[in-house]
Amino acid sequence: MVRVRIAPSPSGNLHIGTARTALFNYLFAKKTGGEFVLRIEDTDLERTSQEYVKNIFDSLKALGLNWDEGPDIGGPYGPYSQSERFNLYPEFAKKLLLSGFAYECWCTPEELEAEKELATQNKQAYVYSRKCIGAPRGEGAPAIRFNVSKTQKAFHESSMLTFNDMVKGELTQDTDLIGDFVIMKSNGTPTYNFAVVVDDMLMKISHIIRGEDHISNTFKQILIYEALGEALSAPEFVELYGPPQPLPQFGHLGMILAPDRSKLSKRHGATAVSDFVEHGYLTEALVNFVALLGWSPSDGQEIKSVDEIAADFRISEVSSSNSIFEYDKLNWMNSQYIKKMGIETLKAALRPYLAKYDLNELTDAQYTRLVEITREPLTVLSDITSDAAYFFGAGVELEPEAKDALNGEVLAEFAKQAADWDFDEEALHEKLDGFRAYFKEQGVKPKDTMWALRAAITGRTRGADICAVMAILGKEKVLARVEKAKSQAAL
């Protein structure tokens, strides 16, 4: 069975790049009838925060990427947090030590730094000297290093290690350039490359889809898989964990870059899923957009649900190139999803962004009409905070352009005529048609007439249908604003 996983580190809020990786794993599992596993890689206890763990859970759930196994729901291969698996790693490291695929290293940080400095002076890539192989025991607790050359010779004919990547095709690395790397620190903590292989083996992960920044790690992990595979063939391990897991298939996704082709960062805008959601992006639109970062639908139709994307998804068709995070395209896509929302759903979604106003000023029917007439220009839900401001409170603040649009004669005549009007929306359309015609005969352009009214009533020269706005506000509030604007027009 296909088993994929997403294994974020809880050292920050879930990044949109990690969300894209989670999505592609989720889509691959759905397409193949496989299982999607969530594992929290919290071995770095100093940087780990339960706040970030919660953010990971909440963000993935908001995107609809629900996992089949994970820390909160369990599963047959738990626990699903690395911090709860610390007892496993020393046991596996010991097996590698006994088989000669690893050895103890007593080098001090100062000795290692001196080796690196010498390599720099000689203009060479640093590779550990391996001087601790066969060396006498030192003081304190040793680190444990993986024996790259022994493993390579045991399983391969040369130092060249090759694997076929599901996205990038054949990739090769000269293992002589890797050097013997640490798999267990002297404090007993496993390093990333070791812990992830042990976890993936025991959790029966069959396919690993992740960012291309992990390619260098993959070569190390393949060697660990091979060494552990032989070590775990021992009957006592087979009885505990089952037969050794075959080497997974790997697929590495291109990076997500900012529009200026630099690394995507907060200076370009939101980067965490929760930031996008807080700003008013719909999670359906966000998932749809992220799916298109490196993948294209077969029918060319970009607006698709997660289920539609999953049915069409093929990992072999994912681009190996980097993708550009185009905020403009995301904004357009989000606006399309807003336009498609049912009115009641949209009303509920907009309420948090109107929290600064007193919605009790409006009846439900008025609020419904407000949403109907303001939804068209919305790019993100948070736009409503500004776009609907003039519907609340007694007065409005005039924008500079609106102040210039005020016309005292127009406002005075409006106040005189409108006192007897019915402020029904349909009736207002008829009355304003006549009002524009009246001032056109006086030599005032209809546009200038309506700008003067809109400016007085909303403080702006552009916005929703003015008749609908006036009907929602009501006669008393409209006339009060016009009276105030008359005095400002005379200044």
Q: Classify residue 246 as exposed, middle or buried by CB count within 10 Å of its CB (0-12, 13-18, 19+).
A: exposed
Distances (CA, A) of 352 to 194, 245, 347, 349, 379: 45, 48, 10, 7, 16
CA distance 270 to 278: 10
Give the separation between CA 377 and CA 400, rounded to whole angstroms: 22
Which residues, in sequence order, are bridge partners of residue 40?
A: 81
- In whole angstroms, what is the distance from residue 343 CA to residue 488 CA? 38
**Contact predicate 310/31, CB 8 Å:** yes
> In whole angstroms, what is the distance from residue 169 CA to residue 192 CA?
25
In whole angstroms, give the CA distance from residue 74 to residue 132. Answer: 41
Residue-level length of the chain: 491
d(C-alpha 130, C-alpha 179), whole Å: 8
Task: List residues with catalytic annotation.
Answer: 266
Tell me the HSE value of 436 on the side-chain side, using a 13 A CA sphere: 13
Beta bridge partners of 37: 5, 69
Contact 52, 8 (CB under 8 A): no
Instruction: Enter the tokens of residue 335.
Output: 């606006």
Query: How crowded is the C-beta side of 179, counted as CA atoms within 13 Å?
Result: 14
* Dihedrals phi, psi of 252, to nearest 5 degrees: -115, 125
**Cα–Cα distance measured from residue 367 to residue 347, given in angstroms and rounded to the nearest whole number:** 8
